[in-house]
Every structure is written in C-alpha cells, then in structure tokens.
Chain A
Amino acid sequence: MLGLFFLFLSFFSIVFSQIIIIRIFPILGVVRTFFISFLLNLSALILINLVYFDNASYVVLNSFIFVLFSFCYFGVVNGGDTSLRIRVLREIVENKIDDMPTLLNIIDDKKTLFIRLERLTQNGQLVYTNNEYSLGKSRLLYLAILFDYLRKIFGYKSIN
C-alpha cells in the first residue's frame, strides 16, 4: 500500500511544485512550469518505486497512472488558456452574461481567430510576413494532422 501512497503523493506534488515554480518564475508560464514539475515528479516517483517494488509491473503501472493523471491535470491547467468552452462558461458564470447576443458579441469566431493567430505567431508555429501567414515550426501541425486522421478513423469529416 505504500506504493499507492507514493502515487497519490505524487498527484499532490505535481500541483504543489508547479504552484511554487510559477509563483517564483511567473515568466516561465503555465506550460513550461507544468513540464518542469511533471519531469521532476515522474523521475522522483520512478526512483521511489524502483526502491520500493520488487515487481517491475507495478513500477510501470504506477508511472503510467502518473502520466495519465498529469495529462488530465494539464487539460485543466491549460484549459483556462486555450479552451473556448471554458471561456464561454466563465463568461456565463463569472461575468453573469445571460443572453446570446451579448455572449456572441464578446466571444465570436473572429476574435477567437485573432487570439489563436497571435498565440501561434508568438510561439513560432506561424510566421507573419508581407501581410501573409505561413507555417513555422511543425510541432502543432503534426498534431493537427494526427487529429485530422483520427477524426477520419472515427467516421467524422476531415477538418478542412
């Protein structure tokens, strides 16, 4: 049961360590501080598990569970920055927007487009020259191609 205790401790630890890192170095931002605390905690968990468990399968499973938890946690952490659904919910709950025309006036596709274009240009995924956008780094593009392919497998239409 000590193995499970370490696992649940690592769940708290990734959240707690990210809070400390981002409070000390706010310039690093949410995504970078997440990956730093993820790598720190995963390494610590694997080391502790290697000492504690004789059975390798528990070390592997514990590590996988931690990765899965971190993925869910990242969804929540990053959702505040990137999710349109969370933005809509926040406008309704926190800013008390209760009619559609006002909501669509605050959040519309064009505003979303410019927020995304700015973010993509800032992190180098897009390059803006001569009044035109072209592709920069390929990391997110590969992910977009993969998701488009997965959509087809599940019987959805291609994105474009």
Chain B
Amino acid sequence: MRIVYYNFIIIFVGILAQILIWNIKKPKLTSRSIFFIFSLCNLIAFAFLFDLNNMDLLYSFIFQIFFILSYILLFTAIEIPSPTFTILLYIKEKNSVSPEELTRLFDKNAFVETKINDLVVGNLISIQGNKIISTSKCRNAIFPFVFLRKLFGIKRFGG
C-alpha cells in the first residue's frame, strides 16, 4: 500500500500549499495555478523523495492527472458561489423566504456577470464594448457537453 500512501501524501501537501498561497494572494488564473502547484509537488516527491518502480510511477502519474482534473473541477465550484448554494444558504438563514425576497437577492445580475467575467479571464471569450467574440478555445470547450447530450438524445440544456 506504499504507493497509495505516497499519492495521498502528495495530495495533502498540495492542498496545504494551495491554502497557504491562496490566503496570501489569490492568483488570477486559478486552474493553471492549481495545476502548477500539484505538478511541482509531484515532481519533487517522485524525483527526490519516493523511490518507486516504473509501473508504480505510471499508476501514480495517471492517478495524479485525474486527481488534478477533478480537483480543478471541484475548486471552480468553491471559488465562484453557485446560485443554488446561495439560495439554500439564504433560506437556511431566514427559515422561509418569499419569491419576491429571493428576486431582490438576484436583482443585480451578479452571478451571470461573474461567470461571463470568468470566461473572459479563461480566454474563452473576449468582450469589446458590447460585442462578444468567441475564441476557438470556446468552441472546443463546449464540444464535449453538446456531443454527450446528443448521444444521450437530450436536447434540453439547463443553466
């Protein structure tokens, strides 16, 4: 079980390093920064600290790649508050809320604008005045979502 412990130690150290860095200064490019932190932890651990055979290294590499991808996916939900979680926490605080009160909470378009801004920072779209320009990265990013839903035979998209 040595290889399993080693991989979890790297994850633990990576998360601690990220908490430390994030509390000092939050980077603009979140996903890239997370990828860099965990890649560095892996590089140091496997090059200098842990002695593993080639098969163990291959498994660790695959494990770490999927962990980093999952973690980035999870972290986007932590970084930018979801409207669903905002609704639930607001109702928890007030016990019961009328639709009118909730509408007031969602009056400033803050959620949509934050998401659009996030897409601009991620270089998926650019905005010039009122004009939205999509990049090739944008078309590639949407492809798996559209393709899977076609395979499932679902036309409806939520949001």
Interface set, chain B 111-159, CB cutoff 8 A to A: 111-112, 115-116, 118-119, 124-125, 127, 130-134, 138-139, 141-142, 144-146, 148-149, 151-154, 157-159
Residue in chain A with minimal CB distance to B159: A87
Q: Which residues of the other chain, B, contact A89 by a CB distance below 8 angstroms?
A: 119, 124-125, 134, 138, 141-142
By the criterion CB–CB under 8 Å, are A113 and B106 in contact? yes
Residue in chain A with minimal CB distance to B6: A57
Interface residue total, chain B, C-beta cutoff 8 A: 80
By the criterion CB–CB under 8 Å, are A23 and B153 in contact? yes
By the criterion CB–CB under 8 Å, are B78 and A151 in contact? yes
Residue in chain A with minimal CB distance to B58: A4
Shortest B106–chain A CB gap in Å is: 4
Q: A93-B139, A134-B95 are in contact. Are A112 and B106 (CB under 8 A)?
A: yes
By the criterion CB–CB under 8 Å, are B115 and A113 in contact? no
Interface residue total, chain A, C-beta cutoff 8 A: 79
Shortest B152–chain A CB gap in Å is: 5
Complex-state Cα separation, A154 to B91, whole angstroms: 24
Q: Which residues of the other chain, B, contact A46 by a CB distance below 8 angstroms?
A: none
The reply to whether the CB of B44 lies closer than 8 angstroms to some CB of chain A is no
User: Looking at chain A's contact residues, is the secondary structure mostly helix, strand, loop, or mixed?
Assistant: helix
The reply to whether the CB of B87 lies closer than 8 angstroms to some CB of chain A is yes
Interface set, chain A 131-159, CB cutoff 8 A to B: 131-135, 140-141, 143-145, 147-148, 150-151, 153-156, 159
Q: Which residues of the other chain, A, contact B19 by a CB distance below 8 angstroms?
A: 153-154
By the criterion CB–CB under 8 Å, are B95 and A30 in contact? no
Q: What would 18 more interface pairs be, CB under 8 Å, given A88-B159, A147-B78?
A: A19-B152, A22-B154, A64-B63, A65-B62, A68-B63, A80-B146, A80-B157, A83-B158, A88-B112, A88-B119, A89-B138, A90-B145, A100-B130, A109-B110, A126-B87, A141-B88, A141-B92, A154-B19
Interface of A toward B, CB cutoff 8 Å? 4, 7, 15, 18-19, 22-23, 26, 30, 56-58, 60-62, 64-65, 68-69, 71-72, 75-77, 79-90, 92-94, 97-101, 103-104, 107-110, 112-113, 115-117, 119-120, 125-126, 131-135, 140-141, 143-145, 147-148, 150-151, 153-156, 159-160
Interface of B toward A, CB cutoff 8 Å? 1-4, 7, 18-19, 22-23, 26, 58-60, 62-63, 66-67, 69-70, 73-74, 77-79, 81-93, 95-99, 102-103, 105-112, 115-116, 118-119, 124-125, 127, 130-134, 138-139, 141-142, 144-146, 148-149, 151-154, 157-159
